[in-house]
Amino acid sequence: VGVLDGWPDTPVLATERLELEPLRVEHAEEAAPLFDDERLHAFIGGRPATVDELRSRYARQVLGHSAGGCERWFNWIVRQRGIGAAVGAVQATVVSQRNGAAADVAWVIASSYQRHGYAREASAAMVAWLRDHGASVITAHIHPDHKASIAVARALGLTRTDVKVRGEVRWLADNHAAGPASQP
Ligand SMILES: CC(C)(COP(=O)(O)OP(=O)(O)OC[C@H]1O[C@@H](n2cnc3c(N)ncnc32)[C@H](O)[C@@H]1OP(=O)(O)O)[C@@H](O)C(=O)NCCC(=O)NCCS
């Protein structure tokens, strides 16, 4: 029995201003126009996806795990609470590790909703949930010039590492790295 078997399905998460709703294939209709914006790709590469592309991507993602079962996938659409407008999305890929689990996280907020602290607020809720379920290592991969994403990573308590993956810098918080608290 792998460590990942203990993980539940993606839950609804709520913050002060936001609701994180587990991704569904139907969200593609709403997400395609929201994310149809070249600016969102300035640092992550690629281009905006069509509704059909998003629908097939979401259909793969909602399976919740990789083909071999080594990874668990958690995806959320981020909404303004009460108002209900979709403003972005957050995701986590969880793999099992020697002493627990490691989660790689990412976030996107539509341009018209940026600079309201939504990325910080949504990612913090996601990371808290991941930690509660045993993710002792949190990573994010960020373009070295992407100030907004770097600020989000810092707010989550991640620190920059020297590791680069496809031009992106790995940011990391490792609860095991600190080791046991020292005795007085
Ligand atoms: C990165 C992104 C999600 C930030 O979303 P956001 O909701 O605007 O972020 P927040 O409002 O929570 O702001 C977080 C921090 O970034 C800063 N920030 C936001 N936009 C910024 C900008 N254009 N330039 C510099 N700093 C910026 C904020 O001031 C804040 O800093 P603080 O915590 O020191 O106050 C958004 O820019 C985005 O979706 N970009 C495109 C997709 C992407 O590249 N995702 C990253 C993949 S890891």
Q: Is 150 in the pocket of ligand 1 (CB under 6 A)?
A: no
* Residues contacting 161, CB < 8 A, separation 6+: 169, 170, 171, 172
Task: Tell the residue nearest (CA) to atom 41 of ligand 1.
Answer: 40
State residue 47's pLDDT score.
96
State residue 2's pLDDT score. Answer: 59
**C-beta atoms surrounding 134 within 10 Å:** 17
Tokens of residue 9, six digits = 């399905």
152 pocket-lining for ligand 1 (C-beta < 6 Å): yes
Q: Chunk the chain into consecutive blocks of 10 residues (it has 184) and report each block's average pLDDT, rounded to whole numbers.
A: 76 98 98 97 95 98 92 97 96 91 97 98 98 96 97 98 97 77 57
The pLDDT value given to residue 98: 81
The pLDDT value recorded for residue 181 is 53
What's the 147 CA to ligand 1 centre distance in angstroms? 7
Q: Which residue(s) pair with 160 in the sheet?
A: 171
What is the per-residue pLDDT for 1? 44
| Both tokens assigned to 69 | 């079962």
Q: In a 3-state reduction of DSSP, which class is residue 48?
A: coil
Pair of tokens at residue 118? 């939504």
DSSP letter for 65, please.
B
d(CA 137, CA 116): 27
Q: What number does the ligand 1 atom closest to the CA of 149 have? A: 1
